[in-house]
Amino acid sequence: MPKIRLPQRVVEGKFFASLKARVIDSGICSHCGACSAICPAYGIVVDPSRPIDFPNWEEDCLDCGVCIKVCPRWGFKPKSGLGNFLEIFAAKSERFKGQDGGIATEILAIALEERIIDRAVVVKRDENWYPKAATITKPEQLEKCAGTKYSFAPSMPELRKAVFRSKNGVGFVGTPCMISGLRSLQKIKSFRKVKLALGLFCMENFYYDSLVGFLADRGIDLRDAVWIGISKGKFIVKLEDGERSFPVKELNPIVPSGCKVCEDFTAVESDISVGSVGSPEGFSTVIVRTEIGKEIAEKLKERCEIGEVNLKIVEKLCELKKKH
Ligand SMILES: Cc1cc2nc3c(=O)[nH]c(=O)nc-3n(C[C@H](O)[C@H](O)[C@H](O)COP(=O)(O)OP(=O)(O)OC[C@H]3O[C@@H](n4cnc5c(N)ncnc54)[C@H](O)[C@@H]3O)c2cc1C
């Protein structure tokens, strides 16, 4: 039998106590939720409004230490910059409307159509903009999941179910910290069923309740928003009867502490990254990093409108995130 090395405890008690002390309570948890996807007691909860928690852990934690083993913020070494890449271009989907060019949706559709994956874990929302994770098996189900939700998504518990059910591979979309969580989970065999890691550029994310409160303080009910986005340093909320915008800086007080230690703007560990910065309006910036990313990029080029990226702006944002 190979010897399994248990993680080190930093406080007395069960392993979750150490994760809680060193990562969650110390404020460096990214809220990626990787721990929730692996906990054999199914006890770790990913709530879009609250820090990661394991209610009743004193009794229910099985003390296996696996939550620590997959936590990308345990012994955290921040990654930054553009990362390794094969090519970068701008693209706009001809069939999907998305946050920018609809390219995240297009990539997942291509991966399903080409049978690279048989399901994709995505993030939908309800009428309150509350983020919900979902597993999609047909390209035509993807459109309603397009668009950015500016709150932590409970994707990892959904991923756990998806890898269990998948025969041919899973696609996963997430912010840079979620992609790091996924890569960490892939130390475990069942998560190697994820064949496509689609990363989104990200400067910061928010707790759902904090975002609701921020907007309520400015007289906006989040439920009335028809579109939310960040562009040129402005947080923009489109309503039925007009538009309100605020300097992104005004959101600083509600940026979670775990985002403040993150330096990864472009999701350097993904197969293919997609963002808004660097591309003309209505296009998405695409960074192709791996062979599987390249296979999909070739199809993208056949099916989408292609443009050029202003790489200087992307690099500037990478630097800005590091500085923050
Ligand atoms: C919290 C957050 C912050 C971002 N910040 C920036 C930024 O500062 N600069 C920048 O250039 N781009 C940023 N992006 C990326 C940008 O908003 C678009 O998602 C990206 O450009 C892709 O657009 P699209 O039209 O190609 O995607 P679409 O086709 O609209 O697809 C979007 C995909 O994102 C997934 N998704 C939506 N919300 C979430 C979420 N909360 N967590 C995980 N997955 C989600 C959906 O499942 C969908 O598959 C951010 C994204 C998020 C989620």
* pLDDT tens readout for residues 245-279: 999 999 999 999 999 999 999 999 999 999 999 99
From the CA of 58, how far away is ligand 1's center (Å)?
36
Predicted confidence (pLDDT) at residue 217 exceeds the cutoff of 50: yes
Percentage of the chain lying above the pLDDT 90 cut: 96
Q: What are the structural domain ranges in the chain?
A: 15-70, 87-205+257-323, 208-254
Strand partners, 119: 170
pTM of the full structure: 0.97
Give yes or no for residue 105 CB within 6 A of ligand 1: yes
CA distance 202 to 276: 10
Q: Whose CA is nearest to atom 46 of ligand 1?
A: 123
From the CA of 7, how far away is ligand 1's center (Å)?
34
From the CA of 203, how far away is ligand 1's center (Å)?
11
Q: Give the confidence band of 3 by pLDDT, cuts at 50, 70, 90.
A: low
Q: Give the class (CATH, top level) of 87-205+257-323.
A: alpha beta
Task: Give which of 137, 141, 265 is closest to 205, Cα–Cα.
Answer: 265
Question: Please, what is the average pLDDT of the chain?
Answer: 96
pLDDT score at 1? 46
Strand partners, 173: 198
Domain 15-70 CATH (choose: 3.10.129.10, 3.30.530.50, 3.30.360.10, 3.30.70.20): 3.30.70.20
* pLDDT tens readout for residues 158-190: 999 999 999 999 999 999 999 999 999 999 999
Q: How far is CA 249 from CA 69, 174, 235, 312, in A?
A: 35, 23, 9, 22
Q: Whose CA is nearest to atom 44 of ligand 1?
A: 174
Task: Give residues with Cβ within 8 angstroms of 305, minimum separation 6.
Answer: 91, 92, 94, 283
Q: Give the confidence band of 194 by pLDDT, cuts at 50, 70, 90.
A: very high
**What is the chain's percent helix, strand, coil content, to nearest 5?**
35, 20, 45
Give yes or no for residue 321 CB within 6 A of ligand 1: no
- Answer yes or no: are the C-beta atoms of 178 and 20 closer than 8 Å: no
Strand partners, 230: 235
* pLDDT tens readout for residues 70-89: 999 999 999 999 999 999 99
From the CA of 143, how far away is ligand 1's center (Å)?
14
pLDDT, mean of residues 289-314: 98
pLDDT score at 5? 75
From the CA of 279, how far away is ligand 1's center (Å)?
14
Give yes or no for residue 122 CB within 6 A of ligand 1: yes
CB-hemisphere CA count at 13 Å for 312? 0
Give yes or no for residue 104 CB within 6 A of ligand 1: yes
Task: Give which of 36, 38, 74, 43 is closest to 57, Cα–Cα.
Answer: 43
From the CA of 53, how far away is ligand 1's center (Å)?
25
208-254 fold: Nuclear Transport Factor 2; Chain: A, (3.10.450)
Task: Give which of 195, 157, 224 is closest to 293, Cα–Cα.
Answer: 195
pLDDT score at 240? 93
Strands 272-275 and 242-247: unpaired
Indicate the range of 3-7, 195-199, 252-256, 284-288 predicted with least confidence.
Answer: 3-7
Predicted confidence (pLDDT) at residue 316 exceeds the cutoff of 70: yes
Is the dihedral angle over the CA atoms 204, 251, 154, 89 positive or is it negative?
negative
Give yes or no for residue 99 CB within 6 A of ligand 1: yes
